[in-house]
Amino acid sequence: MTVTLMQLRRQVRTRIGVPLSDQFQSPEVIDDAIMIALNTFESEARWPWQETTAAPSVTGEAATFDVPADWMATRSIFLDDDEIVPVSTSDILQWPTTDHGRPQVYALVDTVVHIRPFPDGAYTFTHLYYRTASSLINDEDVVRMPDQFTPTIVSKAAEVLSLRGDDRGLAAAHLADYLQGVGRARREARRISGPIRTRVRDGSWI
């Protein structure tokens, strides 16, 4: 994971064939296209490099904790070696307030994790979650994905910029390259870490 925003910008500029002096496809416009491409690619699946952990704690006075700022989706929550079971929001909200003990279940309400039973003491959890795409602002900011997948980001950014220039034929070619790159990334990620979960439509995970 060594590719920087500056390197991506150069690759995109080379891909679409625009000079440094081009004002229509300016560095700011190219950077916006890169971020669109990065977010699109990261939403295609739950990639292994998106996984990370946090260690939230609760006490007997609180039965909730906030998800991290870079949270996108929860994979699992553990208390020591025991996995806490996800349940529906209605189950959590209807849980008797008099029920205290070792937490066993959880539910997400917006960006807050509610655990039940209400804790009878202090507990620290391991929250395994998928984080959002890297935010690339400075030239030296590094893309958080394996380097072999960054050409796919370049293809998508080139598609976005080609559409901006109303060159639909070239945009279609870049899109085809992007989709092939996504397929290669899925196969490689599956080879490394086992089956991945694919996002099939906006707002829906399978």
- State whether residue 173 is helix, strand or coil: helix
| pLDDT tens for each residue of 30-53 | 999 999 999 999 989 889 889 999
Interatomic CA distance for residues 31 and 11, integer angstroms: 12
Give the model confidence (pLDDT) of 112-157 as tens digits. Answer: 999 999 999 999 999 999 998 888 999 999 998 899 999 999 999 9
**pLDDT of 50-108, one tens digit each?**
999 999 999 877 899 999 999 999 999 999 999 999 999 999 989 998 889 999 999 99
> 198 pLDDT exceeds 80?
no
Neighbours of 88 (CB within 10 A): 10
Predicted TM-score (pTM) of the model is 0.75
- Tallying the residues shown for the chain, one arrives at 206
Dist CA 139 CA 126 (whole Å): 34
